[in-house]
Amino acid sequence: MARIRIWAALMLVSCGLSGCVLLVAAPFLIQNDFDDKRTELKKDFAKGLVPKESAETSCLSMLRMVDRHHVAPPPYPDEICQFESFADKRYELTKVFNQGIISRDVWEQECRALPDRPPTGDPCHLDQFQEKLVVWRSQIERGYTTKEAVITDCLTVASAEHGEEESKTICQL
């Protein structure tokens, strides 16, 4: 009987920890499928295996698709599919920041040093969640997804960053 209790307690702890890991990992799961496919596509383009126009078209197609971690398409602007552009390089720089390799200050310095920076706005101010909200709104307006799908994905990301109650307010689009 004691063995059963110990086994049951271990299962509860294991399930509880798995849930915690999923909650913490949720923002990263939102990105991984698209990002992995985009990285492979960029490698093929860099090796000359895929022409630039085909690579960019494939990237846009992937960007507009829903993968297993999304209800809506990934919340990234179309410009990240223009390989070798400012947006593409900024996206790659942001991946390095998200991996913890560079600090926010280094990210901003490196971003400001990128060529072809847009003349308006401050594209080197890092607020990834607000950027996602802008893209999600644009996806709804363009008919790429529904408001309900975006709210579901938004709540997944916002809950991990802001808590459940605040995320309900943030994600009302």
Mean pLDDT, the chain, rounded, equals: 83
Q: What is the dihedral of CA 32, 38, 44, 48, to 10 degrees?
A: -160
Mapped onto helix, strand or coil, the DSSP state of residue 66 is: coil
Q: What is the pLDDT of residues 88-139, one digit of tens each?
A: 999 999 999 999 999 999 999 999 999 999 988 889 999 999 999 999 999 9
By the 8 A CB rule, do 118 and 90 touch? no
The residues, ordered by sequence, that sit 6+ positions from 48 with a Cβ below 8 Å of its Cβ are: none
| Tokens standing for residue 65 | 């698709």
| Tokens standing for residue 25 | 């990992």
Q: How confident is the model at residue 32 (pLDDT cuts 50, 70, 90)?
A: low
